[in-house]
Structure 1
């Protein structure tokens, strides 16, 4: 019982501190006016494999960027797609010379999958700034300007925020999960500590990318973005996170629970590359229920329920603030359902992570 009481005390103190910084000391959305007079050329790298359902939406968003088209270079790498992805891209770019289609037909030594595609696209890029997004992502018009603002300052790597679209209950829970997790990381990032990055919403200077040897110069990982982030930090470069609707990328939701579990298992593999304090925060937050449930045997039901409601209240305030700052909307009662979603997903992920199944990603097994 003493251990449980200590844990709960630490848990609530941690959440109160996080909530305090999130509400009163938030910095992630404070972007100053972008005032570059001479726009630098930028390269946007997109890996695509069997993305016929999303690729046109992605390219349409990129073509609408509020950035001079003569300073924009968009490279789309078709990774041996078996569907109509290549054909759709070819037709879309007929009148858009700033978008180029690159057919990926071989693997660069030391790389596989997405890392291989991005490594080859980076070799073809002609700018000093590389932007990365996925083929199922829609970026806002201000995406390049807002992240570039960070790269032309003191940072070598900048990361935006992402959430998912969709009206189904499962989609809405995923959207809250994204913003909740990114909000927790943003609180840490605002204290000047590096946290992580996301390959669907990331920008990096050419100098930092080449300093680590690119994707072919780092150990292969199915979370190639986190591996790159880790190596860039070790080279002494700095990074930042931007929690703002000016860099909010919209992703297609995981269509099924099985797909989501494959996705999260892949991310959990990459979590071991994160700084220790981020791993500790994620673990501390995920073991709430394994400690809370046994607490029933030491105290009354009313006390246990009061503690549970306290956790839900603090978490709900945090989630609602995250949604608000991302410029999104939500149904108020979804924060209540979100607690059950987190509980269920956490249990399933712990079990699924240790099952001897390979990860199926884009038709390849890892």
Structure 2
């Protein structure tokens, strides 16, 4: 009981401190946009995205940044569907520069999505690479929201993403994403790098080229994290922006099986995190196993009381995340979210041990 009491006390203290810091910590306001406003490049890697690419490009067309200062580079990664045709049907009349580039050959060490981005970066003609995914709809103020943080010493600027969809499964993914990004923000606010998201990220040309580009980086199924780490090694810093003007909307993962494949791929990035972050995640993940031990040692009532306290405190953190993102907190989802988290944790723990290759858009990587 002494060990259990110590663990749960520390667990709640850490979460309470994180929640308080997220609520009260003041973050610096963005610097003014550089004058005159610079040209920017938007890089999108797409493979078999005919169902999503139209939504993505319509959001790009709706950007409030002057289109004559925007070049949109879509990399069609040998799609076998109508991705290119759908994309080209959306962009007629666009007054910015739009190009759809078919990617067929590897560039250096790059493979998969990293290879597409390597080709697009070489084709880009500006100093700022805005990177997003085909299943993302960026907000109208996306460019103006990220660009002021790209100071000379800053190599990467990461925005904010939430999952949107009508189903309960979709909304639980959204709560999971936003709460997790809130915890990442707490650590990032102390100047400690955690990660970057390749679906909502700005990389300066100077930082990208300093790494040698994706064609010089070892292959990784988490290519955004690999680039983030490479940029930091070159002496650049980073910014994470938790503001509503950079909040992008992602389409949800359609099935639990596909969600497990996505999270298993992300775990490759987790396993490359610094030891202190991995230790913190393991400590955080030990809650449910030790809750079962508590139920056995002290009885179900004690375990239920601890679980209720967890739900309340995590709800306060989630409420802070939704408030700062300009969204309403879905309090009614908290009970279902606990079941979702338990099921995902158990399933992923088993799934990670299976000798499976990584499947990305029909391509398999070991």
Q: CA deviation at 1:264?
A: 0.6
SS in 2 for 1:324: helix
SS in 1 for 2:73: strand
Partner of 1:92: 90
Q: CA deviation at 1:35?
A: 4.1
Partner of 1:37: 35
Partner of 1:24: 24
Q: CA deviation at 1:357?
A: 1.3
Partner of 2:141: 142
Partner of 2:169: 170
Question: TM-score scaled by structure 2?
Answer: 0.96
Q: Distance in 2 between matches of 1:331 and 1:9?
A: 27
Q: Distance in 1 between matches of 2:280 and 2:137?
A: 29
Partner of 1:13: 13
8 Å contact 2:318–2:329 — kept in the other structure? Answer: no
Q: CA deviation at 1:124?
A: 0.6
Q: CA deviation at 1:332?
A: 2.2
Partner of 1:332: 331
C-alpha spacing 1:313/1:153, structure 2 compared with 1 (3 Å): farther
* 1:284 and 2:279 correspond: no
Partner of 1:71: 69
What is the CA RMSD across the aligned residues, in angstroms? 1.5
8 Å contact 1:226–1:273 — kept in the other structure? Answer: no
* 1:256 and 2:240 correspond: no
Q: Distance in 1 between matches of 2:290 and 2:358?
A: 30
Q: CA deviation at 1:4?
A: 1.7
Write the deviation string for residues 223-250 of structure 1: whole angstroms up to 9, x where unpaired.
0000111111111110010111111111
Q: CA deviation at 1:336?
A: 2.0
Q: Distance in 1 between matches of 2:326 and 2:74?
A: 29
Q: Distance in 2 between matches of 1:294 and 1:284?
A: 15
SS in 1 for 2:207: helix
Gaps of 5+ in 2: none
Q: CA deviation at 1:193?
A: 1.5
Write the deviation string for residues 242-269 of structure 1: whole angstroms up to 9, x where unpaired.
1111111111100000110111100011
* 1:243 and 2:242 correspond: yes
8 Å contact 1:74–1:99 — kept in the other structure? Answer: yes
Q: Distance in 1 between matches of 2:297 and 2:77?
A: 56
SS in 1 for 2:157: strand
SS in 2 for 1:293: helix
Partner of 1:211: 210
* 1:82 and 2:76 correspond: no
SS in 2 for 1:94: coil
8 Å contact 2:70–2:97 — kept in the other structure? Answer: yes
SS in 2 for 1:156: strand
* 1:113 and 2:95 correspond: no
Q: CA deviation at 1:283?
A: 2.0
8 Å contact 1:230–1:274 — kept in the other structure? Answer: no
* Equivalent residue pairs, number: 364
Q: CA deviation at 1:210?
A: 0.6
Write the deviation string for residues 176-218 of structure 1: whole angstroms up to 9, x where unpaired.
0000100000111112221110000000111110111111111
The 10-residue stretch of structure 1 (123-132 or 61-70) with the greater mean CA deviation from structure 2:
61-70
Moved over 6 A (4+): none
* 1:101 and 2:100 correspond: yes
Write the deviation string for residues 291-346 of structure 1: whole angstroms up to 9, x where unpaired.
11111232233222222211111111111221222122343210221111111111
Q: CA deviation at 1:91?
A: 2.5
Q: CA deviation at 1:31?
A: 3.5
* 1:361 and 2:348 correspond: no
Question: TM-score scaled by structure 1?
Answer: 0.96
SS in 1 for 2:108: coil
Matches for 1:215-226 after TM superposition, within 5 Å: 215-226=214-225
8 Å contact 1:26–1:187 — kept in the other structure? Answer: no
Q: Distance in 2 between matches of 1:31 and 1:136?
A: 29
